Amino acid sequence: MMNMTPVVKQLLIINIIFFLGSQLVPVSYEYLAMFFPENPNFKPWQPITHMFMHGGFMHIAFNMFAMVSFGSALEHFWGGKKFLFFYISCGLGSALLHTAVNYYSFQDVISTLTANGFQKQEILKLLAEGKIDTRWQSLVSVSQFSGFTDAYLGTVVGASGAIYGLLTAFAFMFPNAELALMFIPVPIKAKYFVPGILAVDLFLGFKGSSLFGSGGTGIAHFAHIGGALTGYLMMLYWKKNQFNSNRWN
């Protein structure tokens, strides 16, 4: 904590304020968590605000520990403005891929239902009321139906997508840095650790659903992949443009 950089410190404070506020005012999740775009609860600010919301103490604790640990090193080299731009971009990339995957699951079932005589507006109306037509379930598989309802009714919270972008950037810049983790008895180099956890996320993202479901874990695995992918693409672009030679102070 003694080496915490300014923007990382400010992000930490903002996340803590959001978390404490959400615990005192639970209804805030209805406005600040990110909903599926076709859900009437979706608001245009949610792709930003969702990354400052967390579902519980352990959720925010792990994310903030990672942000401080890896973000401070990156901000030290990049400067505050460049670090903040990278962090927010990875969070938005995370939300984009998560939403795209959900849209695929949702639209696949919608297409099946409309092909069997159901009207899309009636389907959306029932879903918005928290209801389903049991006839729908006979037309699609269990995993398809689960992905369909989860996509529409589920919400996303957390800085994890942005954090995965930071992990990717750290591994990109310091591939041989050894990371000592509580649940692994030996240090692992960043260039092995980060691809490893991404492989696990990718596996769990596909597991349990033919249409990119959450794999039954309750974790938005493709949001993690989206944040990491955004970070990787940005690092490649910056490398070609000498990202190490200039700070954004």
Q: 13: buried, middle or exposed (CB in 10 Å: 19+, 13-18, 0-12)?
A: exposed
Least confident span in 7-21, 33-47, 213-227: 213-227
Q: What is the pLDDT of residue 245?
A: 57
Q: What is the pLDDT of residue 142?
A: 86
pTM equals 0.88
Residue 56 has pLDDT above 70, yes or no: yes
Percent of the chain topping pLDDT 90: 64
In this prediction, residue 162 has a pLDDT band, given cuts at 50, 70 and 90, of very high
Q: Which residue has the higher pLDDT, 180 or 73?
A: 73
Q: What is the pLDDT of residue 105?
A: 87
| For range 87-114, the mean pLDDT | 94
206 φ, ψ (degrees, to nearest 5): -85, -30
Judge whether 15 and 64 are in contact, CB under 8 Å. yes
Query: Which is nearest to 159 in space by CA: 54, 85, 69, 51?
Result: 51
Query: If you average pLDDT over every residue of the chain, what do you get?
Result: 87
In this prediction, residue 143 has a pLDDT band, given cuts at 50, 70 and 90, of confident
Judge whether 133 and 118 are in contact, CB under 8 Å. yes
Q: Record the tokens describing residue 23, joined without a space.
A: 């615990």
